[in-house]
Amino acid sequence: MFSVLSQSAATIAFLVLGMTIAQAQTAAKSPKAVIELFTSQGCSSCPPADALVVELAKDPELIALTLPVTYWDYLGWKDTLGKDSFAKRQKFYAKARGDGQVYTPQVVINGAAHAIGSEKAEIEKVVNQLAVTGFAAKLALKEENGSLQIRIAPTGSTSEEKAGVWIIPTTRQATVPVTRGENQGKTLAYANVVRGMVRVGDWNGQEATITAQLTALQAPEADGYVVIIQAERPGKYGMMPGAILGAAQGLASRGRLRPSLPIRLSFRAG
């Protein structure tokens, strides 16, 4: 009996170890597009866009991110997820495009084109247009020994365009009850709420491997992450974000990140 139990335990341990190794070595699938939604809890037009991004986030061919902004906070409700840096990113996108259009709900697709965040047909049209050329790079992610390896392979001719490699910690699901402002009485649901952006390296268009510490994935309430390569150029007020050249969604490790359960966030706005 002892030998049978020992053999069974060893088999289970081997299977668990094999699953862990398989998870660590899984290459992320290349998406068709990265969709960034700039939204606000103080914007009455935003809940349909928030719900649409929740839907789009279920598509394995898309990476849909939520970036709550702060410039509507004066309307009576302070966005509990909002960051000034997201508002700045949205404004820099508008400057880089040259159209100056900043509004909510707004989606920016692959860092290059924008659309109204609740217009599903228009978003799908832009995604399909951009998918014809695809991304300039393919990413594979591997977590090992306390670090994240980001393997980058160009998909076509090499380029010397300056680009940054970014890790974006996210909260995969969140709900927020709003008690004041234009959305008073509503409970808003979000997908892939961005918790920060950490630059971990540069990309010069060549095949490369970048190693980052797993601490770069950590942020309050984060239980997932995305890695992007984004072109950039210097501007009057700092580096201007350009086209997204590659992206991958990381696999959440049970030992490091919390399970994928909705996080309910209750706040009293001041």
In this predicted model, what pLDDT tens digit does every residue of 180-194 receive, in sequence order?
A: 999 999 999 999 999
Reported as a single tens digit per residue, the pLDDT across 99-153 is 999 999 999 999 999 999 999 999 999 999 999 999 999 999 999 999 999 999 9
Are 80 and 41 a contacting pair, CB within 8 Å? yes
* Distance, CA of 153 to CA of 132 (rounded, Å): 19
Q: Report residue 104 as tokens.
A: 């909510």
What CATH number is given to the structural domain containing 133? 3.40.30.10
**Which residue type occupies 133?**
T
Give the span between the Cα atoms of 158 and 180, in whole angstroms. Answer: 51
Structural domain span for residue 102:
29-254
In a domain, 33, yes or no: yes
- 238 in any annotated domain: yes
pTM score of the predicted model? 0.84
Domains contained in the chain, number: 1
Is the per-residue pLDDT at 1 higher than 70?
A: no
- Tens-digit pLDDT profile for residues 215-262: 999 899 999 999 999 999 888 878 899 999 999 999 755 445 444 444
Looking up tokens 């594979």 gives 140
Residue 7: per-residue pLDDT: 41
Backbone φ, ψ for residue 82 (5° rounding): -70, 150
Q: Model confidence over 39-96: pLDDT tens digits?
A: 999 999 999 999 999 999 999 999 999 999 999 999 999 999 999 999 999 999 999 9
Q: Is residue 20 part of a domain?
A: no
Q: Which amino acid, 167?
A: I
Residue 178: pLDDT over 70: yes
Closest by alpha carbon to 214, among 244, 174, 153, 255? 255
Shortest CA distance to 130 belongs to which of 104, 111, 148? 111
Residue 3 lies in a domain: no
Whether the bond into 105 is cis, omega within 30 of 0: yes
In a domain, 213, yes or no: yes
Please give the Cα distance from 93 to 111 (Å, whole number): 7
Report angle CA 39, 40, 45 to the nearest 5 degrees. Answer: 80
Residue 2 lies in a domain: no
13 within some domain: no
Answer whether residue 19 is part of any domain. Answer: no
pLDDT > 90: percent of the chain: 74
Contact, 93 vs 34, CB < 8 A?
A: no
Query: What is residue 161's predicted lDDT score, i.e. its pLDDT?
Result: 74
pLDDT at position 29? 62
Question: Looking only at Cα atoms, what is the longest distance across the chain?
Answer: 75
Q: What is the pLDDT of residue 239?
A: 84
Compute CA 101 distance to the chain's CA centroid, rounded to the nearest angstrom.
22
